[in-house]
Chain A
Amino acid sequence: MAQVPKFTKVQELIYELPIERVMKKDVVKVTPDTSMTELKEILRLNRISGVPVLEGEKLVGVISIEDLIKALVQGDVQAPVRKRMTTQLITVLESESVVEAVKKFAQYKVGRLLVVNEQGQLRGILTGGDITRGLLETISLDYHAEEISRYRAKHIFEDIISDQTSLILRYKVKAKDFKKAGNASSKLKRALDRLGAVPEVIRRVAISAYEAEMNLIIHADEGGELTAELQPEVIRVTAIDHGPGIPNVDQAMSPGFSTAPNWIRELGFGAGMGLMNIKRCADSMRLESTVGKGTRLEIVVFLRQESGEQQTPDEERGPQPS
């Protein structure tokens, strides 16, 4: 079975980061009437290897140290830039993502790209070095801010000493409040991320918690409470309500069985897949219910995944009978 492609932070960034965030905005320019001798001084003083040529506001060409060397060899240093410049301009839009620039560097084998806005006006200049620096700066900024809060959160279990430490997160879930549906599980997901849980575990807990939360919203008379107990080794998610209760738990557990009314089904809920999804994602689940009293659903997910061989429950299991 082929793998779902996974992306590294850098891969995500080159798609997300706009060119304007990494380009050099302070651009040294020359006019078409600048002489090649003057150009030599401009390049030397600024320690750069090429500059764009502007006639007024209009971008008309680009001239590089290579053009200068050719002019020197041919004894043509008194010529104006106009005569020796390259007029074939390779540009990128400032709003495009860095990946577009990377593609153009590879395609045209040039050292610098001219960055323009939608109107074709010069906004900046971009070299391979600018991209590398921009990526590193962005990664380090994101990393630093996130790392501090992560560090604090991650060490909570080490900093607080007891025979058994657990962190309890409680979320009230209101009945039939579809506007807020998913809020509790989103918050839980963010908390787990902060605490440094591995993404696969976060995904399994998030899916289970979402389905449990939806069950409280759809079915419980007065809503209920979603609780996550986090321990260093395990996460226990509990959904408790006070009625109406499930008459037949086995039936409720069978795929496709749903008691959701039509108006709820039209919203896309009530597929009869909720409990199945939870079972698939959890390391263990327990459902207890008494009609007229209420329902208690307990979901357990282990934080440490077994090395290598243990496959994630849903991705590797064969097709489900339906």
Chain B
Amino acid sequence: MMSLKEIIEELVLETVSSVRLTNRPVAGGYAADLLSCAMKGAKKDYLWVTLQSHLNVVAVASLLNLAGVIITEGNRPDPETIARAEEEKVALILTPKTTFTVVGELTLLGVRGEP
């Protein structure tokens, strides 16, 4: 099983918060931009890929104990969101790539969607 840190290095991703926690192991992945869908589909220690970058992404990630959130298509969270992510110890990771591309790359690294 890969750690978040290894994934960040392999995919050359940018981290904006809680870098210390990037050593967490990643149990699986989930992608959607609707928060309720993430609530349903993402599980503890999963990596969530979304183009949403607002404050509620942090709330969902924290409630579900996700390993981290990859925010795609160059969307950047505002400082308030980053501050909240630090507070809630949620790793926010950024990439200019699309969700489709990132999910493809994650799959090649062995990150699976279904348990």
Contacts and interface: CB of A to CB of B under 8 A. Distances in A.
B36 A211 contact: yes
Contacts of B35: 214, 268-269, 271
A271 B52 contact: no
A99 B3 contact: yes
Nearest to B63: A206
Contact of A314 (B24, B40, B62, B64): B40
B43 interface: yes
B56 A182 contact: yes
B7 interface: no
Interface string B36-56: 110110011100001010111
Interface residues on B, range: 35 or more
Contacts of A106: none
B45 A5 contact: yes
A267 B54 contact: yes
Contact of B63 (A16, A97, A186): A186
Given A211-B39, A268-B33, A273-B34, A15 B80 contact: no
Contacts, number: 105
A99 B5 CA distance: 12
Interface in A147-199: 178-179, 181-183, 185-186, 189, 199
Nearest to B38: A268
Query: Which DSSP category, helix, strand, loop or mixed, fits chain B's interface?
Result: helix
Contacts of B23: 15-16, 97, 99
Contact of A178 (B3, B50, B55, B63): B55
Contacts of A186: 59, 62-63, 88
A15 B36 contact: no
A268 B52 CA distance: 7
Contacts of A182: 55-56, 58-60, 62-63
A12 B24 CA distance: 7
A74 B25 CA distance: 49
Contacts of B115: 1-4, 315
Interface string A1-35: 11111010001100110100000000000000000
Interface string B46-84: 000010101111111011100000000000000010000
Contacts of B40: 273, 276-277, 280, 314
9 contacts: A4-B28, A12-B24, A15-B23, A16-B21, A178-B56, A185-B59, A214-B35, A268-B50, A271-B34
